[in-house]
Amino acid sequence: MSHRKAIYCMALAAVFFSTSGLLIKVISVAHLPLLGVRGAIAALTIALFMARPFLPSRRDPSAGSPPRQSGPMLNFHWSLPQLGGAAALVGAQASFIIAARETTAANAIFIQYTAPVFVAFFGIHYLREPVGRLDWLALAAIAVGLLCFYGDGLNAGGALGNFFALLSGLTFAWFLLFMRKQKDASTIETVLLGNILASLLGLPFLFDAAPTLADWVGMLFLGVFQIGLPSILIALAIKELTAVEAVLIQTLEPVLNPVWVLLFIGEMPTLLALLGGATVIGAVTFRSILSIRSQRVTPASQPTT
């Protein structure tokens, strides 16, 4: 996968992630069974994607040999980055759901997106990936944009929810760091394992949940499109993007989240929120364009032998 395609995949993952705000508003299932069902469906989605390369290819009628199996085998090496990434993914999902129930939506989303700061700080030491001046400028612009976007709704209440929102940002940051640490290995197993753990954590609570048909449809969508597919996209894209690049692109999620609410429920953001959203999108887009251009220039500038 090229660097440009990796950026597109990470941006598409942010679009898929952003659909959670709308559906969690209408699903009546409690947070733990929601976590379990969504994780189980996401794990199945990822497993089906992983099984796809193992399907036999079409046999050439002129060839006498049987069709060959293609694709890598599962690579559960149980390393610290793989296990840590799976645990961090579960932690990010569970803590954000708790945060959304215990504090305001604005607090939960804004505090969660302290994640870029954690990625920048820990990435320097854990990944040995330096954070450039352009990255810090993009981080600052995004912080200002998010503050404008959610500033109207921020309050000091919900201390427990605010704590879990901060924990969600920290665990999501480490999820990306652990994934990036595996850039030379297979990363898809990490997201599969994480969603299996989420399903094991939440499914036992489903017996008391009594979800409606609408709840099942919503959880099916969340499992496939809000967790499953973006997990696959992140696993593919993180090999070509630094951890800071990845988390900067993911800041599109909190801006896109209210867009779906606007389109389907009609909640209109304020002018300040629109300005903040434009700032975030502009910073991410500008940073991505410069990153793509630098990838083009660098190979060309290398001397030939």
Residue 70 reports pLDDT greater than 60: no
Q: Find the domain containing 264 and state its range.
A: 3-51+78-297
Residue 301 reports pLDDT greater than 50: no
Q: Cβ(37)–Cβ(206) under 8 Å?
A: yes
Residue 195 pLDDT: 96
User: For 222-247, what is each residue's pLDDT tens digit?
Assistant: 999 999 999 999 999 999 999 999 99
User: For 258-277, what is each residue's pLDDT tens digit?
Assistant: 777 777 766 676 777 778 88
Residue 295 pLDDT: 66
In a domain, 63, yes or no: no
The mean pLDDT of the chain is 82
User: For 93-151, what is each residue's pLDDT tens digit?
Assistant: 999 888 877 777 667 777 888 888 899 889 888 998 888 888 888 889 888 888 887 77
Instruction: Select from 245, 252, 235, 134 the least CA-distant residue to 187.
Output: 235
In a domain, 181, yes or no: yes
Whole-structure pTM over 0.85, yes or no? Answer: no
In a domain, 71, yes or no: no
Domain count, the chain: 1
Instruction: Select from 180, 154, 141 the least CA-distant residue to 285.
Output: 141
Residue 157 pLDDT: 64
**Residue 301 burial class via C-beta count within 10 angstroms: exposed 0-12, middle 13-18, buried 19 and up:** exposed
